[in-house]
Structures are given as structure tokens and as C-alpha cells.
Structure 1
Amino acid sequence: MSIFNIITILIILSAVFAFINARFLKLPFTIGLMIIAMVFTLGITILGHFNPYVLDEAKSLIQSIDFETVLLDMMLSFLLFAGSLHTKVDALKRQRGPIALFATVGIVISTFLIGTIMYYLFLAFSYPINYVYCLLFGALISPTDPIAVLGILKEANAPKKLETKIVGESLFNDGVGVVVFIVLFKIAQAGIGSMGVGAISLLFITEVAGGVVLGIVSGYIAYQSMRVINHYETEVMITLALVMGITGIALYLHVSAPLAVVVAGLFLGYKGPSIAWSENTHLYVEKFWELIDVLLNAILFVLIGLELLIITMNSQYILYGLLAIPITLVVRFVALSGPIALFRNKLDFIPKTSLMMTWGGIRGGISIALALSLEASMQRELFLTITYVIVVFSIIGQGLTIGPLVKRVIKKYT
């Protein structure tokens, strides 16, 4: 099937599911789309028992989509840029200490705790897995996705301090999480002991520092270009070229594209409105990236729902996934507790911040994409199934309850 036909089908399904959700279910946008996509997938599976051709064609369509490449190399940069462009830098500055620790130290702690616990869990079930593969799972499941929960937090009138921490952490921990995963992936390919501490550190620093520098330089060039003109059509095109250019250069230089686009988006979103953009340009840039954000998220969450068609329905794998849900939640709570305790008095955190950030840290498409990138020898099917179980629970279970939780905590302490 051609790329055009695949994109056409995905957009039509996204539009139909969005209509059903808006007209009947009225659930949060991305959560509603994913639930409808999963129900649609189950319907196809049931129909496939009577007409195998339908199921075979549906599986063929999903398998023809390289989810890893589509998300990590294409969609993620646009989604992160859109999110960072609309993030208030002043609010991030005030919370920069805990956000930096959440997105760096927190990710590393989470990776090693989850990996270690899962390693011993598999041993307890007499199903030994190479320790580095368990660490790979810890790295891919640790990043959180702010997309599904951001709208819910706004509807619940969540305090800006909480919203800033969750969104700020997610913007940066996606990039850091991918870098940690890449480092562990290369160690797994080469074999433990084949890479020294110096080589590992250099790889990590190159990915992170290179991404940050690329983001600053690219963002500055785009900012200066937009500052000397007043033509909103051209300026919107510059932002689009910025994201695509950064992604291509980052892939060529082997630096972190997610971190680069986040830094560029924050830089442009901070400098652009006050200096480089006219009021008209600001309006069109904002609306353009809002539309891109909504469209890509619709496609992403529909894809997550449709991925159910190709997930291995092994009862043992599903059991491991169910057991991994509380493990990932407890580990996230532990990883957040240190930075929160360190900055609690200085930044006047709202009550139950650890609890709300733990439950509000939703796992999403990036975890599935990273799981799909594993090699078969790295227990790909096992970790893909576990990841899918966690992501579905996270998006539906946590996504639909974080709003009431925030409202309850706010009401109790106000």
C-alpha cells in the first residue's frame, strides 16, 4: 500500500473517531480516540473469525507502518516543538531545579530501579532475562507523555505549579529517556564490558550536549530570520523548516533531536512574541502549531489503539505487564520524591505533589516506539506486550482519573 493511501486511511479513521468521541462519548480527546480505536480493532478481530480476509488486510496495513520511524524520526519532533513553543519559559525558570532533576537523575534512577526489579521478577517466575535487556525496558518505560493529561489538568483547574512541573518534566525527559535508551541499546549490541565508562559517558554527553547546542543555534538563526521580516506566511514556513531541519541534522550528527527541538521551541516561544513577531504572526504561528499538535496526536493515539492487532496476546506476557504496572508507579513515586523533598521549602510545592505527579505521569507512544525498536534477540515481543499493557492502563486508567484526583486534593487543601 502506498504512503498516500496509508496516511489517507489514518486521517479518515482519526476524523471519524474524533466525531464519535465529540458527538457521543465526550471523553478527553486523545483518550477517547484511543479507546474507540481499540474497540474498532476488537471489532475487526471478531469479524476476522468469520472473514479472515478482513483481519489479514487490517494486520497488513498496521504492519506496513513503521511505528518506530513514524513516531521517533517524524512525529515526535513536531509534537515536542508544538508543546515547547506554547510553554511559558518564565514558569519553567522558577521550577528549573526540580524539572532538571526529574528529567535527568529521575530518569536514570527510574531506569535502573525498574530494570533491576523486573530482572528479579522474571527470575522469580523462572524466566531469566539478560539484565541489560531489563535496563532497556526501564529506559523505554520511564519517559512520560504530557499530551493526554495536559488538557485534563486544565479542565480540573490544576495549579500552574503542578502543570508546569508535569509538562516541563515530560518535554525534557522524552529526550533524556531516548538518549539513555540509545546508550543502553549500544551496550546491549556490543555486550556488557565491551564499552568502558569513558566511552559510555562520552556517548551520553555527545547526545545531550549536542542536542542542546543544536537547538540553541538553530533557534537563534530562526529567530534572527523572523526578526528582520514581517510576513506571517514566511515566518510560519520558517518554524516548519526549523523543526524538519533540526531533525535531519540531529540524525546525521547523532545527537538528540528531541532535546534540540525542545530547546529551539522554548527559545523561539520566549523570544519570538515579544521581539520578532507581529501580533498577526504570533496568532498564525500559534494556531498553525496547535493544529499540527491536534492532528498528529489524533493519528498517534489512533495508531496506539490499532497496534493491538499486532501485539502478541501471550497470557504470561500480559501477566508480567499487569505486575509491571504497580512497579512502574512506585518507582516513579520514589524517583520524584528526592527532588521534591530537596526543593519543597524553597519553591513552596503544593500538597501531595509526589502523588499527583506520579499519577499524572502518563506513558504514551514513545514507549511503544522504543519497544518496537528492540531487536528480536532482546526479548522484543515480551517487552512490547508489557509496554502496551502499561501504556493502555496509563492512558485510560490514569488519564481518566487524574482530573478527579487533582480536584479532590485541591478541595481538601484549600
Structure 2
Amino acid sequence: MSSKSSKETSIDKSIETSQESRVQINHVSDSMTLLLYLGLLIVTILTVWLFKHRRFRFIHETGLAILYGLIVGVIIRYGSPSYQPSITMISIEDSPEQSNKLPPEKVLVNMSVLNESQIYEYDYKRRLYGNDINAPILDEKATFNPEVFFNFILPPIIFFAGFSMKRKHFFRNIGSILMLAFLGTTISCFVIGGVTFGISRASARLASIVSLSECLLFGAFISATDPVTVLAIFSDLRVEPDLYALVFGESVLNDAVAIVLSESIETYGSAAAAGETAAISVLKAIGSFAGVFLGAIGIGCLLGCLTALITKFTQVREHPLLETSLFVLMSYSTFLAAEAVKSTGIVAVLFCGICQAHYTYNNLSDESKATTMSFFGLLNFLAENFTFVYIGVSVFTYSSHLWDPVFIVAGFLAMIIGRVLCVYPLCGLANIGRRRSGCAIGLSRMHVLAFSGLRGAMAFALAIRNTSSDARKIIFSTTLILVMITVLVCGGLATQMLQWMHIEVGVEEEPNRQRLDRQDSTG
């Protein structure tokens, strides 16, 4: 018995020493990774300051973040230390019981360690391909869990979009914004899905990988616009507020619509795969869309109004630190509450931000007003730029890429067609009502709206969340390329586009109502 105990102690000590060594290696690599991203953000901020100082507007901070990320991604991929963790390949023999099963979430391995039988637990991570097995450890460390984006990066971006909304101009254009966000995003989704599905049939390889539901899912992902670059230039140049409100309002709401659309399409795909009829599958998808969207709106508005009531009928404003802490925690809990009930936290936190700005903000003390606006503005800035840095880095370090030139070209063409069919017909339809009030959207403004449909953080986050199949890998890689193209090209040409379209700039913050149908040479 004593020899047995002594042997176990020796095994435990050896494992403890080995584990301590692994912890140290992981700690160093994690620190290097975080330092790397912080360094990229610092360099991006300093370069942005230089560009603003020199009034150089051909590239925005998000474009810089992508370029710097690409450079560092190359260095990590081809110049990082080649340390490899110990790897043992275990083959499970095929059996009738195992062949029809999915990979288990956990594996219990009974192995001999130092001549002693031990059972160890391992978690499922992902499917590996040949070139993934020997990837450097820094490649893996530079790639974060996709849930990090949904739980920590996206919420402050979306919340600040609702919280910083200029309500006067937003609600003055609410009809056109809702039409572009809801109907336009739906049109774009199905056009992109249909075009990519049609073109992909020309490739035997793609036809065997990508189905119609997956093309529609890609359409939902890529229909989420993120014109942060264009909006920053609009703000710097003080573009007419109604045009700003249209671009901003569409981008804020269509992110929410794109998320719920993607979930509804997945519901449709699951129902169809289960053998249900097309009609039943469509009805389930529509029901899922309505239920998730309305539920998320309800949760967001409820917690936003609850925060307003707490700040109004308590004396917490006498303690600004507590007041600000309560505001931040209540706002973030909206996202978690919606996710906990299987709704969409992004939609909930957006409408929470709108309610907080409309009701709660006026109840706050002056110190808390300044603190909350600055705090969420800071989080938004860092989260957005981190996302674009990560986009650049992940081109070379992410292990789940599957590049297909045909699908990339199809996606690019489909994105343009979808944007055109989204903006021009719907703006024409909106003008039926807008002309009565003398604020129709002129043709030049339609051109700017169409041009402002950049893809960004939301499309990337939706695509990276699940890359378990070949089809999802192709969708993710294509989304990555389209995000970079639109941010770098459209973002870089935004100032020139305003000049070409003769859009008025230098407008005061609260001008008399501007007419968007002013006669000009392009409109």
C-alpha cells in the first residue's frame, strides 16, 4: 500500500511539474498576444492623430487597423517561434455504434502515465486538417474564441450606437430608415443568397459544398452594414444631418435585422433538414424572426426603462460613482438577459441604449452624464479598432480558412447587386411620402447611400461564430475579404464621393431643415 501511495505521489509530482511548465508557456504566449494587440492599437491611434493633424482623409483608422493587422499577421504566421505542445494521435476504430455519432464534447482517455493507468478528460475544440496540426502556438493564441466578440466586443459597439443617436434627425427620417433597415436588409439577404447560389452552381466543387440555405445565411451575414469609416468622415466634414441620419439609422437597425435573419434562416435549415415541408419551415422561420426580434426589443426597453425609474426615484445621483456603475451594469445585463432566454442580446442592447439615452440620461447627475458618455465612447472606439486589427491578423493566423475564388467573386458581385436593389427602389418608394414634406432623397444622395454600405464588425462576428463545416469556412473567408475591400476602398474614397456628388458639407449642428432633393448637377 505504501509503495502504491509513493508511486502515485511520484506521478502526481511529475504531472504537477509538467503542468507548471505548460502554465508558464501559456502565460508568456498570452501576454505576448495581448501586448501585440495593444501595441497595434497604440500605433493605430498615433497614426490617426498624425493623419488628423495633416488633414489626410484617404484612409480611416479602421483601414489602418486592418493594414497593421495584416502586417503583424504575416509576422506571426511566418516569423513566430515554432514551439509545439506535445501531441499524441489517437485513432478510434470505426464501429456501428460510433460511425453515426457526432464528435463527443468530452473524451475520457485511459492511458498509462509513468507505468500507471490514469484517466484524463479532454474537451472538444474543433476539427483539424493536415496543415492545422503543426501550426505554431502563437498562431493559435492570436485567434480568440468567437464568443469573445459576441459577449465582450460587440455589446459596447451596439450600445453606443443607440446611446449616442441624435434622436431629432433619426426620428425625423424614421420611415425611410425603417424601410431601408427592415425591407432593404431582407431584400439584400435574398438577392445575395440567390446570386451566390446561382453562380456557385457553375462550380462542381462549390455545388457539392454550399447549399441554398447556406448561401442565404451568407446573404444575411454580408447584409449587415457598418459604415463607421464613412460616418466618421461625415462627422468631421459636418455633412447635412438628414443624410447622416439615413446612413447611421440604417446601419444601426440593419445589424439587428441581419442577426435575427441569420437565426431565422438557420431555423429554416434545421426544419427542412428534419424533413418538414417547405411551408412549415418558412412559417417556423418567420415565427422565429418575429419572436426573437420582438422579445429582444421588449427586454431592452424594459431594462432601459427600469434603469430610468431607479435613477429617477432614488437618491443614487448623490453618489456619481454608484450611479455610473449602476448605469453600466444595467446596460450590460440587458445583453446577458436576452442571451439567457435564447433571444438576441445585440438587438436588446441596441434598444436599451436608445431607451437609456431618451429616458435615463436626463436623470443622471452632471458628473455621471459626462462619465457615461466618455466611458462608452472609449469602449466603442477601442472595440471597433480591436475588431479591425483582429480582422487583419486573422487573415494569416486563423486556422479555419477555406478560400474559393469563385465564391469570393460571386459574393462581391452579389453584394453590389443587393446594395443597388436595396437602396434605389426603396428610396424611390420613400420619396412618395417625403416629397409632400419637401425632403425627397435626391439621386446624388442615393448614390452616397449605396456607396456607404461598408461591411465591418457585425458581418465578421456573425461569420466567425461557426466555422465547423467547409461551407462555413468558405463563408467566413469570403466575408473577411469583402470586409477588407469595402473598408479600404469605400472608406478611402468617401471624401471624394462627397465631392463628386456635390454633397453639402460644413453644415451647423442644428441647422434649419435641409432639403435632400436640392437641385444639383448629379441629383
State TM-score, norm by structure 2.
0.72
Indicate whether 1:342 and 2:422 are aligned.
Answer: no
Q: In structure 2, what is the Cα distance between the partners aligned to 1:197 and 1:262?
A: 27
Once the two structures are superposed, residues 95-148 of structure 1 have per-residue CA deviations (whole angstroms, 9 ceiling, x without a partner) of 111111111111111111111110110112333131111111111110111323
Query: Could you give the per-residue CA deviations for residues 145-173 of structure 1, whole angstroms, max 9, x where no partner exists?
Result: 13233212222332211111111111111
> In 2 relative to 1, CA 386–254 (structure 1 residues): closer, same or farther, beyond 3 Å?
same
Query: Which structure has the larger Rg over C-alpha atoms?
Result: 2
> Contact 1:311–1:385 (CA<8 Å) still a contact in 2?
no
Kindly report which structure 2 residues correspond to 1:109-120, keeping only aligned pairs within 5 A, or say none. Answer: 109-120=187-198
Contact 2:304 2:360 in 1 (8 A): no
Q: Counterpart in 1 of 2:90?
A: none
Q: Equivalent residue for 2:211?
A: 130
Match of 2:395, SS state, is helix
- DSSP-derived class of the 1:139 partner: helix
| Counterpart contact for 2:41–2:386, Cα < 8 Å | yes
- Relative contact order (C-alpha < 8 Å, sep 6+): which is higher? 1
* Bigger mean CA offset, 278-287 vs 13-22: 13-22
2:420 is aligned, of 328, 333, 338, to 333
Paired position in structure 1 for 2:243:
162
Distance 1:245 1:254 in 2: 14
Q: 2:356 aligns with which of 259, 265, 268?
A: 268
Tell me the SS of whatever aligns to 1:191: helix
2:374 counterpart of 1:287 = yes
Distance 1:381 1:197, change over 3 A: closer
Compute the displacement of 1:372 (Å): 2.1
- 3-state SS of paired residue (2:493): helix
- Root-mean-square deviation over aligned CA pairs: 2.6
What amino acid is the match of 1:264? C
Cα drift, residue 23 of structure 1: 4.1
Whole-angstrom distance in 2 between the partners of 1:336 and 1:71:
29
Query: Do the aligned partners of 2:267 and 2:285 also contact (CA within 8 Å) in 1?
Result: no
Judging changes above 3 Å, is the alpha-carbon distance between structure 1 residues 81 and 112 closer, same or farther for their aligned structure 2 residues? same
> Which 5+ residue runs of structure 2 have no aligned equivalent?
1-25, 85-134, 505-519
- For residue 394 of structure 1, the aligned residue among 486, 492, 499 is 486
Residue 39 (structure 1) aligns with: 71
| 1:69 corresponds to | 147
> Which residue number corresponds to residue 145 of structure 1?
226
Alignment-mate amino acid for residue 91 of structure 1: H
CA distance in 1, matches of 2:359, 2:320: 16
Correspondence for 2:38: 11
CA contact (8 A) 2:400 2:467 kept: no
Task: Report the secondary structure of 1:352's partner residue.
Answer: helix
How far apart in 2 are the matches of 1:76 and 1:313? 22
2:304 maps to which of 219, 235, 239:
219
Structure 1 residue aligned with 2:61: 29
Q: Is the 8 A contact 2:298 2:348 kept in 1?
A: yes
Consecutive unaligned residues of structure 1, counting only runs of 5 or more, are: none
Paired AA for residue 305 in structure 2 = Y
Q: Counterparts of 1:336 and 1:175 in 2: how far apart (Å)?
A: 18
Q: Compared with structure 1, are the counterparts of its residues 138 and 38 closer, same or farther at alpha carbon in structure 2 (3 Å cutoff)?
A: same
The answer to which structure has the higher helix fraction is 1
Structure 2 residue identity aligned to 1:210: G
Query: Contact conserved, 1:77 with 1:243, CA < 8 A, in 2?
Result: no
Answer yes or no: is 1:359 the counterpart of 2:435: no
CA–CA distance in 2 between the matches of 1:118 and 1:182?
Answer: 19
Partner of 2:498: 406
State the distance in 2 between where 1:113 and 1:320 align: 15
1:305 corresponds in structure 2 to 392
Taking the aligned partners of 2:334 and 2:355, their CA distance within structure 1 comes to: 14
Q: Distance in 2 between matches of 1:408 and 1:144?
A: 22
Say whether the 8 Å CA contact 1:158–1:407 is kept in structure 2.
no
Contact residue 175 and residue 257 of structure 1 kept, 8 A: no
Cα deviation for residue 381 of structure 1 reads 1.6
What amino acid is aligned across from residue 250 of structure 2 in structure 1?
Answer: E
- d(CA) in 2 for partners of 1:260, 1:303: 25
